[in-house]
Structure 1
Amino acid sequence: MLWRNKSFFVLGVGLCFGMVLCIQLGLYLANILFGPTFFDNIFQFCIRIFKKGTVEYYVVLLLVNTYVVFSILVLCKKIIQQVVNTNRLKKKIGHLTNREKTIEMNQRFNRSGRDIIVINSNELIALTFGLRNPFILLSTNLIKMLDKTELEAVIYHETAHQKYHDTLKIFVLKMIYEVMWYIPLTKWAYKNFKIIIELVADEYAITRMGSELGLGSALLKLINTHLDYKTNSLLVPFADGTIDYRLKQLIEPYYTLPFKLQIKSIIISVNVMILSIILMIIV
C-alpha cells in the first residue's frame, strides 16, 4: 500500500488546484448569468481593482474574459477529443478483435465482466483504455510471447488500472495541467501520477501473485519494445516510459524513488492557491 498512499497525495495536489479553478469559473459565469448580487469571485475582484471606464479596467476585463474563454474551450476540446478518440479506437478494435482468443482469455482468467479484448496484431500490446468502464486490451503476439505466469502478472497489473480508474484520473489531471499551465505543481502532479500508478499496479500484481518473478520477467521481455498504438489520456500501457522506475523498485523494494519538486515551484503554486482561497472568502 506504500505507492497507493502516495498516489492519493499526488492526485490530491492536482485536484486541489482544479477544484479551485472550477469553483472560480463557475462563480464568474453565474455572476454573468444571474447578476453580481451574490456570486463574487477572484475574477471579479481583479476587475474591480480598477475604476470602471478607464483603460486599465477594460484591459483587465479583456484579459479575464480571454482566460475564462480559453479555459472553457480547452476543457471542451479535451472532452470532445476523448470522445472522438474513444470511438475511433473502438472501431479499430472491432475490426481487429480475435473473438476466439477473447473468449478464451476471459474464461481462463475468470473475467465474468468479459473485460479482456484480444486483437490480432504483431505488436506487443497490453494496455487499459476507457474512462467509465475500462477494458484490458491484449495483442495475440503478446500472448504468444509471454508464458502463463508472465501473462497472469500483466493481467493483474492492468486489472489494478481498471479497479482504481487510472485512465479517468490521468485524463482529469491532464486537463487541469493544460488549463493551469502557469502553476508548476499541476505539471508535477500529472507527470508523477503517471509514474506512481504504474508502481501501484505492479504492487497490486505482486500481492495477488505472491511473487515479483512473473512481473519482472514480463518487463524484461518488453523492455526493448514499444507500443504502436498512439497513447493518449484514454490509454494506460503496460510497457511505457516508467519501466526504469519499475525495475528499480522490483530490484530494491524498500528503495523510495525520488520525485523531485523544486522549492520555487512549491512557493509559486502555494501562493497562488492561498491568494485564490483568501479572495474567495473576502470578496
Structure 2
Amino acid sequence: MEKRQSKTMFIVSLLIYGTIFTQMALYVIAYFVGWDMKFNLVDACQSALKAIGMASLKYALDALVIYTLVFSGWKLGSQWIQTMKMKRKFQQYRENKLTIDLNKQYSIKKESILVISYPVPLAITMGFISPKIMISTGLMNLLTEEELEAVIYHEMYHQRNDDPLKLFLLSLCASSMAYIPILKWFNQKYRIIQEVMADHLAIEKQATSMYIGSALLKMLKVGKLNSMPFVYASFADTSVNYRIEYILNPLKDRQLKIPMKIAFKSFTIFSLICIFFIYALA
C-alpha cells in the first residue's frame, strides 16, 4: 500500500508541475518569438483579468511566471553543480581497498558503493544518474558488521529506486510552485514512505528488524549530520519517529491520509488556472 501511495504522489506531483510549467514556458517563448499560441494558461488569465477590470494584476501574473521559471532553472543548475562538486570531493577521500571489498561482498558488478575516509558516521545515496552509495569509515567503525549490512541494504533501496533524482524533482515541484500547497505535502510524505520502504528491504533481507533498529539508534546518538547543499537520500536524517514505530511493529497497517483542506485548496487553484487558459483562448 505504501509503495503505491508513494508512486501516486510522485506521478501526480509531476503532472501538476508539468502542466503549469509547460504553459508558462510556452508563454515566454511566444512572447519573444511572436508565436500565436492556442490554449495558453497565462494568456487566458490575463484576458480574464482584463475582462473583469483587473488588468493591473497582469504584472503580478508575469512576475509569477518569471519567478517560477527562473527559480526552477536556478535550482536545477545549482543542484547539478553541487552534486558534481561533492562527487569529486568524495573521490579524493576514497578508501580503495574498503571500496573494492564492499562491492565484492554485495556482488555488485559496477562499483556503486564508495567508502570514504571520514570520521563522522555517514551513509547517503547521491547522484541523479547512476546514483552511488557513500559510506564513511566513521560509520564502519561505529556499527557492527550486521548493522552495517542493514544500512547498506537500506541505501540499496534508495539507489535502485533512483530516489536522489525523485526527491529532487519533488523538492523542485514543491518549492517552485508553493502556491499549490499539496505539492509540499507530497514531498514530505514521499520521503517518509521511501525511508520506511528502505528499512523494510533491510528487514526483509536480514529476516529481523534488530540490526536496522540498532544502527538507527546509534546514528541518532552520534547526532544529525550537517545538511549538505544538494539533494540526497540519507540513512538517519529523515522520518525518524515514524521509522522507529515501523521497526517496532512492521506488521501494523499504516496509510497516510491526504489532508482534505489542502487538497481542496490546491485543486481549486489548479482548476482556476486551467479555466482561465481555456476561457481566453477558446
Task: Give the TM-score normalised by the residue count of structure 1.
Answer: 0.90
User: CA contact under 8 A between 2:41 and 2:278: conserved in structure 1?
Assistant: no
**Shift in Å, 1:51:** 4.5
Partner of 2:272: 275
Q: Please identify, of 151-160 and 39-48, the stretch whose mean Cα deviation from structure 2 is larger.
A: 39-48
Specify whether residues 98 and 229 from structure 1 end up closer, same or farther in structure 2 by C-alpha distance, changes over 3 A only.
farther
Q: 1:69 and 1:275 mapped to 2: Cα distance?
A: 19
Q: 1:280 and 1:48 mapped to 2: Cα distance?
A: 9
Give aligned-pair identity as a percent: 28
**Shift in Å, 1:164:** 0.7
Q: Secondary structure at the match of 1:128?
A: strand
Amino acid at match of 1:267: F
Q: Please identify, of 244-253 and 202-211, the stretch whose mean Cα deviation from structure 2 is larger.
A: 202-211
Partner of 1:105: 102
Q: Secondary structure at the match of 1:211?
A: coil
Counterpart among 214, 218, 223 of residue 221 in structure 1:
218
Amino acid at match of 1:90: K
Task: Between the two structures, name the one with larger relative contact order (CA 8 Å, sep ≥ 6).
Answer: 2
**Shift in Å, 1:258:** 6.2
Partner of 2:28: 29
- The answer to whether 1:67 aligns with 2:98 is no
**Shift in Å, 1:3:** 2.3
Partner of 1:10: 9
Q: 2:20 and 2:49 mapped to 1: Cα distance?
A: 22
Amino acid at match of 1:274: S
Partner of 1:49: 48
**Shift in Å, 1:248:** 0.3
Partner of 1:82: 79
Moved over 6 A (4+): none
**Shift in Å, 1:79:** 1.2
Partner of 1:119: 116
Q: Secondary structure at the match of 2:108?
A: coil
**Shift in Å, 1:280:** 4.8
Q: Please identify, of 146-155 and 208-217, the stretch whose mean Cα deviation from structure 2 is larger.
A: 208-217
Q: 1:51 and 1:193 mapped to 2: Cα distance?
A: 40
Number of aligned residues: 280
Q: 1:85 and 1:242 mapped to 2: Cα distance?
A: 24
Q: Secondary structure at the match of 1:136?
A: strand
User: CA contact under 8 A between 1:13 and 1:185: conserved in structure 2?
Assistant: no
Q: Secondary structure at the match of 2:38?
A: coil
Q: Runs of 5+ in structure 2 lacking a partner? A: none
Q: 1:21 and 1:91 mapped to 2: Cα distance?
A: 35
What RMSD over aligned residues (CA atoms) do the two structures have, in Å?
2.3
Amino acid at match of 1:172: L
Task: Give the TM-score normalised by the residue count of structure 2.
Answer: 0.90
Q: Runs of 5+ in structure 1 lacking a partner? A: none
